[in-house]
DNA sequence: CATATGTCAGTCAAACTGACATCA
DNA sequence: CTGATGTCAGTTGGACTGACATAT
């Protein structure tokens, strides 16, 4: 139970710090994650459904996140070229610039984990990964060499 | 950054499991924490302000949490005997019964951390504690041998 | 036909701000 | 007087349910 308490409090602390850093950029951590995901995609665009799958958020939450990013001009909605049902979120030039600046700020703050060394961060990831695995976090988004990934 | 992602996801997974277990008891994790805190207090009652301090939640959030617990009959509001400004939250008999049952269910589910051994849980706490300390988590609620603690 | 995708309307729990009455 | 305590009104960001139009 002590471990759970530590987990909860550290999450609260770290998320608070990250959101504070991201606020000047007009981002929350959830929106930042979505932008980073697009940055790392091949074409700079992904179907909303795939984004929700990768980020593990509810379909309606992705709609909301993309709504706000689009209103801020960091993302554009585009029709999917081959699937008439799907909508693509495409990162804009402004979006890429904001991600870059925000990432620099986050890195300068050690992502809120400056108290830990590189070895400790690795140890932490080693400890936490089995829990994600048990929750099926890595077995769902397997190989899909389809259109947009 | 990978460490941050792991932290966020594991928090989401564990909290989701805990809330699922607590739901049949009519509790969220936040409300459960508040009840446990009262259980561990000497008189079974604490001023709302002290509770917010210990649980690290906003004053208005404590008001809301106690509101719901009181509506469920798990807690009673009482005037503070010596400080006319303060209000005490006192756990009821029904409250103690619910905590006991909920704690049994949580323990049976290893608090959502069944993937880790006792040694691993200890290692995790060792890693996370410095972050809490850096955030001032242990330096604020120091010695206060006052009325109600 | 059944299934997948995204959206909408609405609910919910929580964190927050600003204001306020009350009391030490 | 100042400062502490709790509450209220209202906003925000996010997770959720149920329903739905549209397209595969």
A76 touches strand C (CB under 7 A): no
- pLDDT tens, residue by residue, B40-73: 999 999 999 999 999 999 999 999 999 999 999 9
- Are A111 and B13 inside 8 Å of each other by CB? no
CA distance A74 to chain B (A): 22
The answer to whether A22 and A101 have CB atoms below 8 angstroms apart is no
- Are B7 and A10 inside 8 Å of each other by CB? yes
- pLDDT tens, residue by residue, A78-96: 999 999 999 999 999 999 9
pTM metric for this prediction: 0.92
pLDDT band for position B141 (cuts 50, 70, 90):
low
- Of residues A144 and A70, more confidence is placed in A70
A95 touches strand C (CB under 7 A): no
- pLDDT tens, residue by residue, B39-48: 999 999 999 9
- Nucleotides, chain D, CB distance < 7 Å: 3-10, 13-18, 22-24
Percent of chain B with pLDDT over 70: 93
Q: What is the pLDDT of residue B138?
A: 85
pLDDT at A144 over 80: no
A70 touches strand C (CB under 7 A): no
- pLDDT tens, residue by residue, B2-48: 999 999 999 999 999 999 999 999 999 999 999 999 999 999 999 99
- pLDDT tens, residue by residue, A22-81: 999 999 999 999 999 999 999 999 999 999 999 999 999 999 999 999 999 999 999 999
Summarize the confidence of residues B77-100 as an average pLDDT: 98
Q: What is the pLDDT of residue B145?
A: 41
B60 touches strand D (CB under 7 A): yes
Measured CA to CA, the distance from residue A80 to residue A5 in angstroms comes to: 44
Q: In what order do the strands lie in the sheet with A75-79?
A: A45-47, A87-91, A75-79
Q: What is the pLDDT of residue B139?
A: 76
> Which residues contact residue B74 at a Cβ distance below 8 angstroms, ignoring those fewer than 6 apart?
B35, B91, B92, B94, B95, B98
Beta-ladder partners of B25: none
Q: Report the SS3 class of residue B79.
A: strand
- Residue A122 CB neighbours (<10 A): 13
| Closest Cα in chain A to B108 | A1
- Are B131 and A123 inside 8 Å of each other by CB? no
- The overall average pLDDT reported for chain B is 93
pLDDT band for position A146 (cuts 50, 70, 90):
very low
- Are B128 and A10 inside 8 Å of each other by CB? yes
Q: What is the pLDDT of residue A147?
A: 43
- pLDDT tens, residue by residue, A110-129: 999 999 999 999 999 999 99
The answer to whether B74 and B36 have CB atoms below 8 angstroms apart is no
pLDDT band for position A136 (cuts 50, 70, 90):
confident
């Amino acid at each position: 139970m002590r471990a759970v308490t530590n987990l909860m409090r550290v999450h609260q602390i770290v998320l608070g710090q990250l959101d504070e850093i991201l606020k000047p950029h007009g981002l929350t951590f959830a929106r930042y994650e979505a932008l980073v995901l697009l940055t790392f995609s091949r074409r700079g665009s992904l179907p909303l459904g795939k984004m929700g799958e990768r980020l593990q958020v509810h379909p309606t939450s992705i709609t909301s996140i993309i709504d706000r990013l689009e209103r801020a001009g960091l993302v554009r909605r585009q029709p999917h070229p081959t699937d008439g049902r799907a909508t693509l979120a495409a990162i804009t030039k402004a979006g890429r610039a904001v991600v870059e600046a925000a990432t620099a700020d986050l890195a300068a703050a050690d992502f809120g984990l400056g108290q830990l060394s590189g070895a400790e961060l690795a140890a932490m990831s080693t400890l936490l990964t089995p829990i994600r695995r048990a929750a099926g976090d890595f077995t769902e988004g397997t190989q899909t060499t389809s259109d947009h990934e």
